[in-house]
Structure 1
Amino acid sequence: MRVFFTGGSGKAGKWAIRHLMAQGHHVVNVDQTPSGLACSELLIDLNDAGQVIGAMSQFTDFAELDTGTGVPSYDAVVHFAAVPRVMIGTDGECFRQNTQTTYNVIEAAVKLGVPKVIFASSETTYAVCFADGAVKPDFVPVDETHPTVPHDSYAMSKVCNEATARSFQARTGIDIYGLRINNVIEPHEYAENFPAFLENPDQRRRNIFAYIDARDLGHMVDCCLKTDGLGFEVFNVSNDDMSVGLTSDQVIARYYEGVEVRGPMGPDETFYSNRKAREMVGFRPAHSWRDVLG
């Protein structure tokens, strides 16, 4: 597939592009800074709607000129570009850029006839991650039916983007899938960061004790590329196990007293349910911090 990928120069984007290229997809990275990856790249400002639709409708490398058949179309758009969290710039600018760029990307995709859009939403939509103080989920494991009423500008932008995506899908009928991505972990971060998580599980409370290996995130994107006909859907994206050494019963007793537990949980089972992704698109995460730390 020919994939227009925004934000591929970022932490999650680089790993996703590597995985997609390994599966044989032709990926064009669209960002403001070069990625260093061996893929075609266009450096643009996604806040500018004209630049977005222009980038999505032009040649991207010399090989495309050799066929003499005009500008090739895209099979899918993957939109990862964003201000990645609060407290980088102002709250208002975070919200403005994240919502404006998402609108511009999806609008360009539907106007140019791209049949599929996959966009990065966030774990923060569930109002736990960037809460002022300790906020517990309404129930665990947290799945896609959990309310999304956050208090911070980053998570607000992601909820708004989901509404934008749903509206474009309703009008056009194309497939638009939102990925509520949990805390992205690169392979080297297991040895660097997880010993501290095991010593002090409090550090993982805001992430609902979950994580997603960057390589498995790339696999999830590929699963979505290969799954057609779902219309609009959102998916939690996490690994199967928790990011702490406690058992699920110990986590519930220590952190989730009084929270509804919806069914029995395995001793290491994630509190950020990925069941929907497993059932609907065939997501099968293959990595764990336990592979490194035992």
Structure 2
Amino acid sequence: MRIAVTGSSGKLGRATVDRLLADGHEVIGFDLAGSPAVDPRLRFTTVDFTDYGQTLDSMLGVTARHSGIDALVHLAAIPVNGLVPDATTFHNNVTVSFNVFFAALRAGITTIVYASSITAMGFPFDEPPASLPLDENVSAANNTYGLGKVVEEAMAGQFVRWNDELSITALRFTNVINAEEYGSFERAGDPAYRRDLLFSYIDARDGAAAVALALAAAEPGFEVYNIAASDTGLSIPSAELAEITFPGTPVTKSLGEFETLMSIDKAREKLGFEPQHLWREGLAALDL
């Protein structure tokens, strides 16, 4: 397919571009940062997605880049609170996602996979989750970035009502890391480490694999999937970790030794998602 990736220069964006190219797709990169020289295989165009005119024009066609898009991967966003004022984070991200979704709808693009977030589930979890492992049935926002993600999921759920052929898949990514960042897991024995993330993480390569799987499995309608590594980022057994850090929170299944507390059961069942890059193996490789 010819697939456009917004935010193609970001951490997850670069991994996604690499994965889609390796799978044989033609990839169009859209971002504020980057250049065609970054990767000769990538057709890159600078686009400001806060401008609806630029957004729609980029979806319809760009001279010397493309004359139409088969599918869209939307990753562009201000990635966390704190980089700009809180209200700006919300206004920017919700405007960008509206523009991208609506422009895609107008351009006749019927397959969209986009980055939602663990922040749409209650991050930083100062209030304990209703149960563990936490699944996709929960929607809660505790900051303006997370509120934007909740609003984006609500928008996507409505847009698919406007076109019976439209497929939008929200991937609720947790903290995305690259292989060289595995050294940051030296606090793995501290139960306070990554508590705000339910101790979760995702290797960028596995995040990109989830995008590829979601594109392949796309069907009309709106779906939400949690995307995290299959283990926690700690060396404390998961059942013990849940009891220590979230006492009294119901645990709804028998947990594997280090099983993730951000449930990926739905993604496993419906997408065939199985993370291949885990911090224990990655850290061991860095020590070689």
Judged with a 3 Å threshold, the aligned counterparts in structure 2 of structure 1 residues 92 and 24 are, in CA distance, closer, same or farther, namely same
- 2:171 pairs with 1:169: no
Corresponding position of 1:37: 39
The corresponding residue for 1:91 is 86
Equivalent pair of 1:236/1:277 in contact (CA under 8 Å)? yes
Unaligned runs of 5+ in 1: 65-70
Distance in 1, Cα, partners of 2:167 & 2:135: 21
Say if 2:160 and 2:220, in contact at 8 Å, map to a contact too. no
1:195 aligns with one of 178, 186, 192:
186
Measured after TM superposition, the shift of residue 29 of structure 1 is 0.9
2:58 to 49, 55, 61: 55
State the 1:180 CA deviation: 0.5
CA distance in 1, matches of 2:219, 2:122: 30
C-alpha distance in 1 between matches for 2:235 and 2:64: 48
Provide TM-score, normalisation by structure 1: 0.92
Shift of 1:60: 5.2
Retained in 2: the 8 A contact 1:6–1:81? yes
In structure 1, the partner of 2:273 is: 283
Aligned partner (choices 126, 145, 160) of residue 154 of structure 1: 145
CA separation in 2, counterparts of 1:17 and 1:116? 17
CA-atom RMSD in angstroms: 1.4
Q: Answer yes or no: is 1:111 the counterpart of 2:106.
A: yes
User: Given the two structures, how large is their TM-score scaled by the length of structure 2?
Assistant: 0.93
Q: Give the Cα separation in 2 of the matches to 1:90 and 1:209.
A: 27
Q: Any gaps of 5 or more consecutive residues in structure 2? A: none
Q: Is the 8 A contact 1:42 1:60 kept in 2?
A: no
| Aligned counterpart, 2:171 | 179
Q: How does 1:1-294 map to 2 (within 5 A)?
A: 1-34=1-34, 36-38=38-40, 39-59=42-62, 61=64, 71=67, 73-129=68-124, 134-146=126-138, 148-173=139-164, 174-190=166-182, 192-196=183-187, 198-294=188-284
Name the SS for the 2:192 alignment partner: helix
Q: Partners in 1 of 2:97 and 2:264 — Cα distance?
A: 24
Q: How many residues align?
A: 280
Distance 1:255 1:166, change over 3 A: same
CA distance in 1, matches of 2:245, 2:237: 12
- How far residue 230 of structure 1 moved from its aligned partner, in angstroms, is 4.8
How many angstroms apart in 2 are the aligned matches of 1:37 and 1:272? 34
Q: Which amino acid aligns with 2:131?
A: F
Paired residue secondary structure (1:164):
helix
Q: Per-residue displacement from partner, 1:59-80 (whole Å, max 9, x unpaired)?
A: 3536x6xxxxxx2x21111100
- Runs of 4+ displaced beyond 6 Å: none
Deviation per CA, 1:61-101, whole angstroms, max 9, x where unpaired?
36x6xxxxxx2x21111100001111111111100011001
